[in-house]
C-alpha cells in the first residue's frame, strides 16, 4: 500500500492547481483567442524574490500552473534571465479585427507591491499606454489553409515591475475576458478528505512520538537497573 504521506504529497499540489487562483478558463470565439503568453522577469538568487519582481514571481508560480491546466493549448513561455525585463505579453488572434481593437480598455490603477522600491513607478492617475497603441496586423494565411477568412493578430504588454500579483491577474482577466472557475462539489469533498487524512496522519505521528518516548524511558530504566545489579553483584563478590 502506498504511504499516506506520499499520496497526500501528490494529491495536494494537484488540488491546489485545480482550485487555486490560476483556475481561469479562457473564452471561445467570438472573443479574441489568446494563443501565446510570454512572461519575463529577472529571477533573484535569493530565497525570496525582490519586492519589485514578487508580483511577477507570484503570477508565475501561483497563476500559470492553473491557467495551463484549464487551457492546455495555450503556449506559455517564461524567461527568468538575470537581466530580463519585467513584462507580461499576451498574443491574440481573431477573425474580426474590431474585436482585437476592443481589447483596449480604460486604464485602471495598477497596485504596486512597494511603490518606493520601484524607481520606475508612476502615479496611477497619470496617463498610461493602453492596448489602443498596439497595431492590429494581418496574419499571413498559408496556401493550403481552408479558413473562410483571414486571421488577425495583436499583442498587448504590461510592465510588471513593482506590480502586485492580484492586480496582474485583474489586468489579465480584463484583456482576455477570462472567467474564474469555481470549486466543484467533488473538489470540496476531496479537500475535506485530504484535511481529515492529514489530521489523522498528524495524530498518528504524535502518538508514535509518545509511544517512542515511553519505550525510550523504559529502556533507560532497564539499563539503569542492569547497571545497578552488576554493581551489587561485584560488591557481593
* pLDDT tens per residue, range 30-49: 889 999 999 999 987 776 77
Nearest-angstrom CA–CA distance, 144 and 218: 82
- pLDDT for the residue numbered 92: 93
Query: Residue 120: which pLDDT band, with cuts at 50, 70 and 90?
Result: very low
Q: Which residues contact 39 (CB under 8 A, 6 or more apart)?
A: 56, 59, 60, 64, 76, 77, 78, 79, 87, 88, 89
Contacts of 141 (CB under 8 A, 6+ apart): 147, 150, 151
Per-residue pLDDT at 121 exceeds 50: no
pLDDT for position 126: 34
Region 122-126: what's the mean pLDDT? 37
Residue 53, pLDDT above cutoff 80: yes
- The pLDDT assigned to 143 comes to 57
Alpha-carbon distance 195 to 92, whole Å? 40
For the cut 90, the answer to whether the pLDDT of residue 117 exceeds it is no
Average pLDDT over residues 98-119: 55
**End-to-end C-alpha distance for the chain, whole angstroms:** 56
Confidence check: pLDDT of 2 > 70: no
Residue 69 pLDDT greater than 70, yes or no: yes
230: which 3 cell numbers?
552488576
In the predicted structure, residue 234 carries a pLDDT above the cut 90: no
For residue 55, name the pLDDT band (cuts at 50, 70, 90): very high
| Domains of the chain by residue range | 4-106+129-140+148-182, 184-236
> What does the DSSP assignment read for 162-199?
TB-HHHHHHHHHHHH--EEPPPPHHHHHHHHHHHHHHH
> How many residues belong to the chain?
237
Q: CB 101: neighbour CB atoms within 10 A? A: 16
pTM value?
Answer: 0.67
Q: Give the lowest-confidence range in 44-58, 79-93, 115-129, 208-222.
A: 115-129
The pLDDT assigned to 130 comes to 54
152 within 8 A of 100, measured Cβ to Cβ: yes
- In the predicted structure, residue 118 carries a pLDDT above the cut 80: no
Asked whether the predicted pLDDT for residue 76 surpasses 80, the reply is yes
Beta carbons within 10 angstroms of residue 169's beta carbon: 21
Which numeric CATH code is attached to 4-106+129-140+148-182?
3.40.30
Task: Single out the residue of 22, 41, 49 nearest to residue 161, CA to CA.
Answer: 41
Mean pLDDT of 75-103: 89
Q: Go through 204-227 and write b for each residue having 16 or more CB atoms within 10 A of its CB, e for each that does not.
A: eeeeeeeeeeeeeeeeeeeeeeee
- Least confident span in 101-110, 117-126, 217-226, 227-236: 117-126
Measure the CA–CA gap between 55 and 62, rounded to whole angstroms.
Answer: 10
Q: Tell whether the model's pLDDT for residue 232 goes beyond 50.
A: yes
Amino acid at each position: 500500500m502506498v504511504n499516506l504521506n506520499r499520496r497526500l504529497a501528490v494529491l495536494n499540489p494537484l488540488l491546489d492547481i485545480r482550485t487555486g487562483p490560476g483556475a481561469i478558463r479562457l473564452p471561445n470565439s467570438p472573443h479574441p483567442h489568446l494563443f501565446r503568453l510570454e512572461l519575463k522577469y529577472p529571477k533573484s538568487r535569493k530565497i525570496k524574490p525582490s519586492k519589485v519582481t514578487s508580483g511577477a514571481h507570484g503570477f508565475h508560480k501561483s497563476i500559470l500552473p492553473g491557467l495551463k491546466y484549464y487551457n492546455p493549448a495555450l503556449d506559455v513561455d517564461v524567461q527568468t534571465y538575470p537581466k530580463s525585463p519585467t513584462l507580461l505579453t499576451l498574443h491574440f488572434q481573431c477573425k474580426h479585427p474590431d474585436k482585437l481593437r476592443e481589447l483596449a480598455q480604460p486604464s485602471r490603477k495598477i497596485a504596486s507591491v512597494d511603490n518606493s522600491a520601484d524607481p520606475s513607478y508612476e502615479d496611477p492617475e497619470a496617463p498610461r499606454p493602453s492596448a489602443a497603441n498596439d497595431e492590429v496586423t494581418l496574419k499571413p494565411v498559408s496556401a493550403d489553409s481552408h479558413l473562410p477568412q483571414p486571421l488577425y493578430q495583436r499583442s498587448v504588454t504590461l510592465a510588471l515591475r513593482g506590480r502586485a500579483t492580484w492586480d496582474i491577474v485583474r489586468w489579465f482577466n480584463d484583456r482576455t475576458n477570462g472567467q474564474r472557475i469555481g470549486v466543484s462539489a467533488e473538489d470540496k469533498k476531496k479537500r475535506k478528505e485530504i484535511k481529515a487524512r492529514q489530521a489523522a496522519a498528524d495524530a498518528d505521528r504524535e502518538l508514535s512520538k509518545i509511544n517512542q518516548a515511553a519505550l525510550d524511558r523504559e529502556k533507560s530504566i532497564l539499563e539503569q537497573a542492569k547497571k545497578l545489579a552488576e554493581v551489587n553483584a561485584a560488591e557481593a563478590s
